[in-house]
Amino acid sequence: MLNYNHLYYFHVAALEGSVGAAADKLGVTQPTVSEQIRSLERTLRVGLFERMPSGLKLTDVGRLAFEHTSVMFRAGERLVQSLGHGPQNVPRTLRVGLSTAVARSTTTDFLMPLLALEGCVPTISSADSAQLLRELRGNELDLVLCETEPPVEMRQGLELQPIAQTILVAVAPPNIQPAEDWHDVGLVQYRPTSSYRWDVEAFLDANGYRPRIAAEADDSLFLVEAAARGGFVTVVPRSVARDAISTGRLRVLARVESMHASVNALYQDGETAELARKAVQVLVDHVRAQVEA
């Protein structure tokens, strides 16, 4: 059977990178650390470290084990804190998952309000929405910000709250005057994997626009710069193009109706969601203030 001490000694050794440093950290002898690690390797029947002159290097299996122990011991710390036995005034960690689509299509100040949450240390990671949802259900994340609503059957036990409805705009440099059907301009477009792609396609079809496709990308900031510097048309969230529009580098050609352009928050329901709810409300207030401004 797995031994908690074996796992903890392995975890500390992986963090410290050497048996000597782990022994100092744990307040034990180096042979004790080495034996604990070997016992764990014998139990799991795998090698967790490569022993090198410079120290310990995790094997592929060791890296996988370290991911699991990181979750385990982080959960243990949160348990101690929640029961009131941890140090007073210890900041709580808010584990935020940001979908790649949202990361690429929001302004750099979108998440800034989270940094001002009192008694909270946000840790932010990015991945595709499906992976983030799995991590949320596995209690590896506290809050997920994504661009689409999961199907109802996948939202059981989760709370969903819209944060912002993204406004898309077609923009171009001031000197670009497209023909009636846009046949004379190049369009820098989202890739088909982006949810915004379908909004743009619907906009073009509804208006009979037939621009030349100049390039495809997922990064909204790149699309803005490509339009401003290259003399192209692009469709991006208005918030991302705001600075370029206000400085006259780009002008708005049209507003694009969207069925997909939004940012939604997902988190576990129940009392454990208190910090996530607070974070969501801060983000909602921030977005509302920007719209009103």
Q: Residue 68: which CATH number?
A: 1.10.10.10
* pLDDT tens digits, one per residue of 201-231: 999 999 999 999 999 998 888 999 999 999 9
pLDDT at position 231 is 94
Buried b (16+ CB within 10 A) or exposed e, 257-273: ebebbbbbbbbbeeeeb
User: Do 146 and 175 belong together in one domain?
Assistant: no
User: Do 123 and 145 belong together in one domain?
Assistant: yes
User: Do 74 and 194 belong together in one domain?
Assistant: no
User: Do 66 and 12 belong together in one domain?
Assistant: yes
User: Do 159 and 273 belong together in one domain?
Assistant: yes
HSE, CB side, 13 Å, CA atoms: give it for residue 223.
Answer: 30
Residue 283 resides in a domain: yes
Distance CA 289, CA 109 (A): 13
pLDDT at position 103 is 76
User: Do 251 and 173 belong together in one domain?
Assistant: yes
Q: Do residues 173 and 227 make contact, with C-beta atoms less than 8 angstroms apart?
A: yes
Element (H, E) at 46: none
* pLDDT tens digits, one per residue of 160-180: 888 877 788 999 999 999 999
Q: Show which of 60, 82, 104 is a domain's final residue.
A: 82
86 pLDDT more than 80 = no
Contact partners, residue 274, CB within 8 Å, separation at least 6: none
Question: How far lies 97's CA from each of 180, 206, 242, 265, 282, in Å?
Answer: 42, 35, 25, 10, 16
User: Do 188 and 249 belong together in one domain?
Assistant: yes
Residue 198 resides in a domain: yes
Burial class (CB within 10 angstroms; exposed 0-12, middle 13-18, buried 19+) of 29: exposed
Q: How many domains does the chain have?
A: 3
Q: Show which of 82, 100, 130 is a domain's final residue.
A: 82
Q: Show which of 39, 62, 82 is a domain's final residue.
A: 82
User: Do 245 and 186 belong together in one domain?
Assistant: yes
Assigned token pair, 185: 């301009």
Distance CA 200, CA 188 (A): 11
Largest Cα span, the chain? 79
* pLDDT tens digits, one per residue of 101-116: 777 666 667 888 888 8
User: Do 100 and 231 belong together in one domain?
Assistant: no
Residue 87 resides in a domain: no
Distance CA 228, CA 221 (A): 11
Residue 242 resides in a domain: yes
| Residue numbers of the domain that contains 268 | 92-165+261-292
User: Do 177 and 252 belong together in one domain?
Assistant: yes
63 pLDDT more than 60 = yes
User: Do 71 and 96 belong together in one domain?
Assistant: no
CATH number at residue 199: 3.40.190.10
User: Do 99 and 239 belong together in one domain?
Assistant: no
Residue 217 resides in a domain: yes
pLDDT at position 85 is 55
Residue 99 resides in a domain: yes
Residue 117 resides in a domain: yes
Q: Tell me the average pLDDT of the chain.
A: 85
Distance CA 165, CA 168 (A): 10
